[in-house]
Amino acid sequence: MVEWLAVWGVTSAVGLVFKPILEDLAKDATKDWAKDLMKDSLKNVLRLPSKEPVDIAAGKALTEFLKLVQDELEEANLSDKEIKEYTKPLKQFIHNKAVKAILGSAFNEDCQVLDTAILAKTWNELNLLSLPEEFDWNPVTKRYLKKVKAIIRESEELRAILDSQRLETIAENTAELAGIIPEFDLEQYQEAIQERYGNLNLQSLDTSGYAYNELTLWRMFIPQNVRQVHEVLHQVHEIPKEHQRRLRESHQLEAEIVAEELERYKQVYFEQPSRPVGEIVKDKDNYRYVVILGDPGSGKSTLLQYLALDWATLSVEAAKFQSIPLLIELRTYLRNFEAKRCNTFLEFFHQSPGSICHLNQQQLHEQLKAGNALVMFDGLDEVFEPGKREDMITCIHRFTNEYPNVQVIVTSRVIGYKPQRLRDAQFHHFMLQDLEPEQIKDFIHRWHELTFNNEGDKVRKRERLQRAIDTSKAIGELAGNPLLLTMMAILNRNQELPRDRPELYHQASRVLLHQWDVERALIEDERLDPKTIDYKDKQAMLRQVAYRMQG
């Protein structure tokens, strides 16, 4: 007992009236009253190999608290005899659960003030001997808090616990700010790719959808051919001369091409061999950076989705030894970038809600540095504002400089595309070609095999579609476009195909507009009532849009 009192500083505290309280605590030093005092403050005390540092600190703290209470009573002009009458009440007071919690909270690193209101309230609720009117808990708790901080600094063990808690707090705060750090789970990424791109998305083409729910991209995809574009994009120069003049005036066409030059450029373009697009993608050594150009519906996005799915259907072990496909839809990336959800392509995969699966950017960075990736930027033309499109090209160029060993593919529509900047960045340009007659026949066969159950109906509808394509030059020309061919297959299910181009367009637009979700596609405008906008209203709107675009 004498030893504990000496350690707590009781024996050297001359005139301490409440010494009997501490003597009783010294007798109970083998109990857990000290840990109980600090259990909500220094939480790691239970890990200490010895309880002695805790007993020392708790005893010193209570000694200081009782000294301060005695000082405050003396300030109220009470005699020693009157002060001594508070010995029993104080003993009961310091063993109260609420009081222990407050006294123990002084050991918290971030504790700046103690709740004196609870101390006063508890004293009254316990019906203890009334304190003098002049008694004030505020100076007691302020000085007590300073004493406890000094006690912690003097204890090597408690100081270590406090430092440990600081580090834990910093780690927790950092984790909270950063959110849950994603893993680099390739199996999960494979699943996400299959879920996102596995089935053909025909919701906007089919009025019912019932027949095409099981159509998977990898069963329907037909690899197209491409032709390299070395100089001028030939489609631009097939525009009539008066339209060329308008494009030049709006700075969309840089210079007039004389007839002889135009013919020469056309000849150079058509002399390029038509090659399967798969050959170009696999030839990473010669075509590390590629731009795939094509008309609307020509299959640019479908090609990239198929390349991602081709990897996603491998076994996990086999996938680790193949380039990881990273498909970035640029309109989605731009939306997330402008919403300040990401600043780089790596952050897009790491944390952006627009990414189909989150991949740890540090590990992704390592894979990119090693060249173990196929990065695909889809839809450069869908970044509509010219300034933002230029910024996106700069981002892509900077990406190739930072990760020079990574294969990169960019897709864009032809009209409005300016090749020079990516050509200067060593990108090779290829134009997607229309489907060949044999490819069209293959598509029609697969489509009907997968979407018809009745054998007779399957054969009859398949032959009807093939016959319409073979016998109508206009329909045959349009069938080379994968999107229009898909539209024909959908229309053919329930009707004979029109034999002329305008009527086919009319029928196709009817299907598209029937499915067009006004509430989702239009910006909310209180002047518009989505429930009253019918097919003809939609057609009238788009007629004006199309006229403006054609002009």
Domain co-membership, 379 together with 284: yes
* Structural domain includes residue 135: yes
Averaged pLDDT for residues 51-55: 75
What percent of the chain is predicted at pLDDT more than 90?
46
Residue 28 has pLDDT above 60, yes or no: yes
User: Where among 219, 241, 271 does a domain terminate?
Assistant: 271
Give the containing element (helix H, strand E) for 195.
helix 186-197
Which long-range contacts does 320-325 make (Cβ < 8 Å, 24+ apart)?
320/186, 323/371, 323/372, 323/373, 323/374, 323/407, 324/186, 324/189, 324/367, 324/372, 324/373, 324/374, 325/193, 325/373, 325/374, 325/376
Averaged pLDDT for residues 374-403: 94
Q: What is the DSSP letter of 500?
A: S
Alpha-carbon distance 530 to 517, whole Å?
A: 9
What value does the mean pLDDT of the chain take? Answer: 83
Identify which of 166-175, 207-216, 228-237, 479-488 has the greatest average pLDDT. Answer: 479-488
Domain co-membership, 226 together with 238: no
* Structural domain includes residue 301: yes
Model pTM score: 0.64
* Structural domain includes residue 216: yes
* Structural domain includes residue 181: no
Weakest-pLDDT range from 209-223, 292-306, 469-483: 209-223
Domain co-membership, 129 together with 9: yes
Domain co-membership, 22 together with 135: yes
pLDDT digit string, tens, across residues 328-350: 999 999 999 999 999 999 999 99
User: Where among 400, 433, 466 does a domain terminate?
Assistant: 433
* Structural domain includes residue 157: yes
* Structural domain includes residue 241: yes
Domain co-membership, 241 together with 300: no
pLDDT digit string, tens, across residues 273-282: 899 999 999 9
User: Helix, strand, or coil here: 293?
Assistant: strand
Domain co-membership, 51 together with 165: yes
CA separation, residue 313 to residues 29, 318, 322 (Å): 67, 10, 12
Question: What pLDDT shows up at residue 57?
Answer: 83
Domain co-membership, 150 together with 171: yes
- Domain of residue 500: give its range: 438-550
Residue 29 has pLDDT above 60, yes or no: no
Split at pLDDT 50, 70, 90, the class of 203 is low
Q: What CATH number does residue 421 fall under? A: 3.40.50.300
Question: What pLDDT shows up at residue 521?
Answer: 46
Averaged pLDDT for residues 153-173: 68
Give the distance between the most distant pair of CA atoms in the chain. Answer: 121
pLDDT digit string, tens, across residues 72-94: 999 999 998 999 999 999 999 99
Question: What pLDDT shows up at residue 314?
Answer: 93
Residue 27 has pLDDT above 90, yes or no: no
Domain co-membership, 32 together with 156: yes
Domain co-membership, 358 together with 215: yes
Domain co-membership, 146 together with 54: yes
* Structural domain includes residue 360: yes
What percent of the chain is predicted at pLDDT more than 70?
79
Domain co-membership, 306 together with 166: no
Provide the domain count of the chain. 4
Which carries the bigger pLDDT value, residue 52 or residue 41? Answer: 52
Which carries the bigger pLDDT value, residue 45 or residue 402? Answer: 402
User: Where among 433, 449, 481 does a domain terminate?
Assistant: 433
Domain co-membership, 87 together with 205: no
